[in-house]
Amino acid sequence: METTLRGVGVSHGVAIGQVRHMGTAVLEPPARQIPADDAPREQGRARQAVEAVSADLIARGNLAGGEAQAVLEAQAMMAQDPELMADVERRIAVGSTAERAVYDAFAAYRALLAGAGEYLAGRVADLDDVRNRIVARLLGVPMPGVPDSDEPYVLIARDLAPADTALLDPTLVLGFVTEEGGPTSHSAILARALGVPAVVALPGAGELIEGTVIAVDGSTGEIFVAPNEEKRAELTRAAEERRAALSASS
């Protein structure tokens, strides 16, 4: 039976396809004390992980080019923020492992951003992605990321980081839906640049069942779960009319 959900439309167009979920985010590392003698080694591990993640973000930016490159280079600078790195090293000096120190230092910075107005709050997803990539590297686990698929799909995520959004293949990722984010988030900006229909701030998006067919209206913010053929045709017509109207006015 068809169900309608509503989020915030941030990138025009209609996408109809099966739900695929983003790879799982990094788990919270355990809090355990290390001997004081291990601190220099752990600090070195943290620095190496930060440098590797920063280099990877810059490489992704070079591949993507355009607006995405500037966003990813800004994210790489975020990874190397000297105050953040100083906080990580301070936490290691008093007994944290490298991964736990990164997790906690980023959490403190995240809280500052989240409470600093809409624009900076929109950078929280960027910060979370940097943290997840550094922690994943330190733990030796796979990076969270876009699923592999031979068939086109609609991507569902808690939020999308620029490093993932910038390299989306629009022939495979028909559109995306996130639980968090807003119209000024980098994922929304890059979705518009890619021309991929997108809806953000949809509570419960993560509960959509893998493989279910949904229709995403990036203009109205509506999500139609298991739409019938009539609804699919109606949405496709509406998207084409909006596209024609936008072309005529530009």
- Go through the domains of the chain in sequence order and give each one's CATH number: 3-23+145-249 (3.50.30.10), 36-139 (1.10.274.10)
Q: Where are the alpha helices (DSSP H) in 162-228?
A: 162-165, 186-194
Tell me what pLDDT residue 87 has: 97
Pairwise CA distance, residues 135 & 146, whole Å: 18
Pairwise CA distance, residues 10 & 193, whole Å: 11
Contacts of 72 (CB under 8 A, 6+ apart): 57, 58, 60, 61, 64, 162, 163, 166
Most confident of 39-53, 127-141, 172-186: 39-53
Q: Are 242 and 12 in contact (CB under 8 A)?
A: yes
Count of other CB atoms within 10 angstroms of residue 236: 13
Tell me what pLDDT residue 121 has: 67
Rg from Cα positions in the chain = 20
Percent of residues, the chain, with pLDDT higher than 70: 95
Pairwise CA distance, residues 96 & 190, whole Å: 36
pLDDT 10s digits, 88-105:
999 999 999 999 999 999
Tell me what pLDDT residue 193 has: 84
Q: Are 141 and 161 in contact (CB under 8 A)?
A: no
- For residues 50-57, average pLDDT: 94
pLDDT score of 119 more than 70: no
Q: Are 38 and 106 in contact (CB under 8 A)?
A: no
Contacts of 166 (CB under 8 A, 6+ apart): 60, 61, 64, 68, 69, 71, 72, 190
Pairwise CA distance, residues 248 & 250, whole Å: 6
- For residues 39-48, average pLDDT: 97
Percent of residues, the chain, with pLDDT higher than 90: 53
The type of residue at 246 is: L
Tell me what pLDDT residue 39 has: 97
